[in-house]
Chains A and B, each alone.
Chain A
């Protein structure tokens, strides 16, 4: 009866080949006889399909080892079988890449596997290509996992006009609509907490006070209403106080550290929380103000957008405007950077956003391009390095505050014209309100995993991110990372805008080329948007 190899054990670099009859039931075989050679043994189910030659005196094996990477291809028979009654054991010396198990076997099940490394760069000649490949995979995975849309909060009976974030509770958000209704939402449960019939006509602006107790709304009916959101009164549509104004109000913003809030309409008025009469009434020009924003850092500053295409900065201590910037097109909204007191971004009607340093208004810092229609709303990420913008072109874009192009564009088939966007206070989510009566919740980072991330996973993600960053200049990675599927109308519009832009550039170039040198000065496109800066 010919013996057959039924398993191979690697014992500290020595292969014990147990030759004998395979017990049919027991696939793993009986290794008890091997234990006398060594206290421990690692098992590699390497092969049972070796060619073997059985002689009377010598046995030779020609192994076809699947897992050849463990071997250095040096296998030889060093000693020959003794006469055993049942099984024959042959030791084979294998020159293989073997390690001391103490170095990699973990003590308990909960430990991590130890990894022994040799950092000698000579041993890793292909590290850059390997990392490149990893980066490529990472960036592809990023696109695979990019699912930014979280949920849709429907409940409004008319288009959403404005949203307000609760200053303390991350999950609480209020939204107002064209029919004068205000809904307070719980984002975590995705349900409405309260529904208030706040105004006749539309709700124009909303803001929470710093404590988050009161919601202040203003509307078409020339009233400012203060609602106590914690009490049940608001559910019964009872405002805690109503201020009736002589002029219409389009926007409202609360100071971060005091009781003052500002309203913008035909005039700009500063209100003390208790008083019925404004503390200060001021204005510059005759056109109405449709947006006011308190600076969250330097709390005496107010930014305002006027319908005469201007952005005005007010100082509450002097109770006067301090500077006005007139642009070519109207700024729909402006938002201060919460980490850089002097910077703000204005969402312009000319499809672009402009970031300004308010100490030098005549030169915008960055022109953010990408939208294909008027930008309606803008809101800064609380970390100050990003902002989100909502546009009339039915898309939301996320920009890095110092970059021209957007890093992300969100859209859904059902989402219509954006009316308002907001970044949540934890910088993880984006809320958008649109014409078609819905509030939507998005992830700020499209491919980010929700929920608890374990440390190892986190480390892997961080590594992937830094790899992406490292290789972002490589064309393939850049292409994959920047590729976005957009609706046809946006794609076409973008193409059209590109053509228009090229046309303008060409014309400028031609004009310069065909006129006397030094007579034609070509302005940078971001400077073209500025008309004048008024003192």
Chain B
């Protein structure tokens, strides 16, 4: 009857099925099975009680049965085999178990045959109530499970650092300890709150200071907060602002348009308005400030006069307009109008003094040098432009001025070296100056001579004539040659310049012609004068001679003859022993006035030029040995970013004296003969590189005759090694190049033999090496970036290990990135 279904599944099956079974499960299972067993027992007893309820005296019997059943229970055998099992499912382990189980199985089958119904019912019941319970795990397995589970947890947790570690590994630069980038900027109100008194003492002090006026009491500024304005208010404000802007713009436009008006009528009206305004002001000023009023009056008058002057005889007045209408039909009136125009033209023409023409042109070129002299103004006013006769007197008044001016121009000429077009003018300048100077000197001399000597009338005619002829001839020749020179120069400059010069050339040549004529005239004039002077002087001399001793007379005659034979006007002055100073002055002024065309006072450059030329004429033998091909042409450096500009000094070749300079250079560097050295070097290399025969013959060896015999053909064939024919040198046709064809063994040890790790091609690696990082080759910022160290640490600061904050920061940044990248 009694059935202990509290069976336990085999340990093997439990371990297979229940992976989660842990140690403490086993004990629980045992307790559970006990309870179960008790429950089953009472259930069955109840059933029996129900079935046999009719007989009441059965109580005692049933009790005894229960007791016996309980006593029959063997707690020690609780794991003994399953009582009932499907034979098909029975494991081999069960088969091998005790006989007891076999017997029980038999009983079970018999019972099952007897009442299948009850059995099936019971089976159902038992299946409902009993679940399979695992056998307690062995400790090692349990621990192993626990560990592996823990390890998985740990690895998962550690993986959260992956990103940070990875980013740190690839970072260009790591800073330790990490620099805190969340810097705060203190606003002013925070700062003031900091400085505001806080403690009581501070407050007291503060209030006292405030009372005494040491501190300005705090003014609470009305806070204008745009955020607090309503929409309407802001709109009106904006409208107002826009209106204001529009108005200002309008006004500006109006004013600018008014300024552009070209109408004469409008302008006249305007002017009149202005005049009226000024008059009004003048009226008002008259009483208050009479002095200022006077000034104003002057100003008004001046403007009026100017206006009048500008409009004079322009046929713009009322009368003229009326006449114009009539002029159509009246010839007389037409003539009158024409006269008017003529007059206006005459009046408006610039007034020029004819005597100043030549100098003015020179002056107009160099405006800076020819500043208006204060003395000149009043003199100009005085001077009648028509009176060209007494030039000398005019000039004598300006001697000082001229000297100053010449000095200035000389200085300027010295500084400026591109005076090709200016030079002739400068010369003209000087020529005119000479003339003037001559006049001055002559005048002085005449006076002196008059004082010293008496006039002599009887003079030898042939001498006179000769002198005059010579002088004339010479002057003509010189002037012609000079003219030619000038023309040549002009052409030269024109050729050097662009086409625009051609026009000016013509005008300039014309100008020159004119100047030539004038000069000639001046020369003739001076010649005349000289002639007369000579006459006078000779007359005087004669007189003197007559007075003095005859020996003296002879000497002087001789002198005069000698000098006249030299045909130089200077000799005229050399005849007489004048005062030393005067003599010098005259010398300097008239020293070869025609031949050289220059003066000491004129441009220094010219003189230098002359001197230079002299120098090279004087020492020509020095340059004879210099080969012009032997110094290198300085070629400008060319680069991809444009021409390299050499600062400091003008272009040597552009100078007219470049040839001279080249020659000079050649002399300066006569010692270092670069090209010759190079050629020598090249030749030596060429010789050295030529393959040579190797002679291995031993004299006398293998021969009977002795040592001085010629080498036998056999030996020659065998022991004189002929070199292999090599390719000719690559630089054989290149004049200025040496190509080293052999390998430089010294460089081998510096060369990389294997491609280093991160590079995949030699090209890449070479490019990386070629890219410079120094500040000589890359800009400073790039350089700094490139040399930035990978790890930056600060001395004396502890570097903390990584903390969880890093992860939090990264998460935040990621979020930010997400927000940024999100499409709207």
Binding site for B on A (CB under 8 A): 12-14, 55, 57-58, 60-63, 72-80, 93-100, 115, 117, 119-124, 127-128, 130-132, 134, 167-168, 170, 256, 296-298, 301, 313, 315, 318, 320-323, 338-342, 358-359, 382-385, 425-428, 459, 462-463, 465-467, 470-471, 473-476, 535
Contact = CB atoms under 8 A, between A and B. Distances in A.
A119 B773 contact: no
29 contacts: A55-B619, A57-B611, A62-B671, A73-B669, A76-B668, A94-B648, A94-B649, A95-B634, A115-B775, A123-B644, A127-B774, A127-B776, A128-B769, A128-B772, A131-B772, A131-B773, A168-B798, A315-B150, A339-B168, A340-B802, A341-B165, A382-B176, A384-B802, A465-B787, A470-B769, A471-B769, A474-B752, A475-B749, A476-B750
Contacts of B798: 167-168, 170, 382, 425-426
Contacts of B803: 297
A58 B648 CA distance: 24
Interface string B731-755: 0000000000000000001111100
- Which A-B residue pairs are the 10 nearest by beta carbons? A13-B648, A338-B801, A382-B799, A296-B801, A473-B756, A98-B648, A425-B798, A322-B151, A342-B158, A322-B150
Contact of A342 (B161, B649, B796): B161
Interface string B175-195: 010000000000000000000
Interface string B791-810: 10111111111110000000
A535 B619 CA distance: 107
B665 A76 contact: yes
Interface string B626-670: 000000001001011100101111001000010001001101111
Nearest to A99: B647
A127 B801 contact: no
A355 to B, nearest CB: 13
Contacts of A170: 796, 798
Contacts of B778: 119
Contacts of B157: 298
Nearest to A128: B770
Given A124-B772, A383-B791, A475 B750 contact: yes
B618 interface: yes
Nearest to B655: A78
Contacts of A462: 787-789
A359 B786 CA distance: 36
Nearest to B663: A76
B620 interface: no
A500 B390 CA distance: 123
A359 B159 contact: yes
Contacts of A131: 772-774
A91 B658 CA distance: 16
B749 A476 contact: yes
B561 interface: no
B364 interface: no
Contacts of A100: 647
Contacts of A134: 774
Nearest to A444: B793
Nearest to A452: B795
A297 B161 contact: yes
A99 B648 CA distance: 8
Given A315-B153, A383-B176, A427-B793, 11 more contacts: A13-B647, A63-B668, A95-B648, A119-B779, A130-B776, A170-B796, A296-B802, A301-B154, A323-B154, A340-B168, A474-B751
B649 A427 contact: no
Contacts of B614: 57
B769 to A, nearest CB: 6
A384 to B, nearest CB: 8
B174 interface: yes
A354 B458 CA distance: 135
A122 B155 CA distance: 57
A447 to B, nearest CB: 14
Given A13-B647, A73-B669, A99-B647, A127 B787 contact: no
Nearest to A467: B773
A127 B772 contact: yes
A415 B168 CA distance: 36
Nearest to B145: A535
B329 interface: no
Given A131-B774, A535-B151, A340 B769 contact: no
Contacts of A467: 773-774
Nearest to A342: B158
Given A297-B803, A382-B801, A72 B787 contact: no
A425 B799 CA distance: 6
B14 to A, nearest CB: 22
B144 A535 contact: yes
Kindly name the residue among A256, A339, A471 whose own CB sees the greatest number of chain B CB atoms within 10 A: A339
B608 interface: yes
Nearest to A132: B750
A358 B165 CA distance: 14
Contacts of A58: 611, 615, 619
A124 B154 contact: no
Contacts of B765: 473
Contacts of B644: 123
B787 A340 contact: no
B47 to A, nearest CB: 51
Contact of B165 (A124, A132, A339): A339
A74 B646 CA distance: 12
A123 B641 CA distance: 10
Given A98-B648, A322-B151, A427-B176, A74 B615 contact: no
Given A128-B769, A338-B801, A426 B647 contact: no
A298 B148 CA distance: 19
A121 to B, nearest CB: 8
A60 B147 contact: no
A335 to B, nearest CB: 12
Nearest to A341: B161
B611 A475 contact: no
B649 A80 contact: no
A459 B787 contact: yes
Contacts of B159: 342, 359
Nearest to A96: B648
Contacts of A121: 777
A98 B648 CA distance: 6
Nearest to B168: A339
Contacts of B751: 474-475
Nearest to A343: B165
Contacts of A313: 151, 154
Nearest to B608: A79
Contact of B750 (A93, A340, A474): A474
Given A123-B639, A296-B801, A318-B150, A75 B158 contact: no
A95 B788 CA distance: 41
A462 B786 CA distance: 10
A451 B680 CA distance: 57
A426 B795 contact: yes
Interface in B270-323: none
B752 A60 contact: no
Nearest to A129: B750
Nearest to A136: B750
Contact of B664 (A60, A322, A341): A60
Contacts of A98: 647-648
Interface in B99-158: 143-144, 146-148, 150-151, 153-155, 157-158
B417 to A, nearest CB: 9
A12 B648 contact: yes
B649 A95 contact: yes
A130 B773 CA distance: 11
A338 B803 CA distance: 9
B393 to A, nearest CB: 36
A320 B150 contact: yes
Nearest to B648: A13
Contacts of A62: 667-668, 670-671
Nearest to A479: B749
Contacts of A79: 608
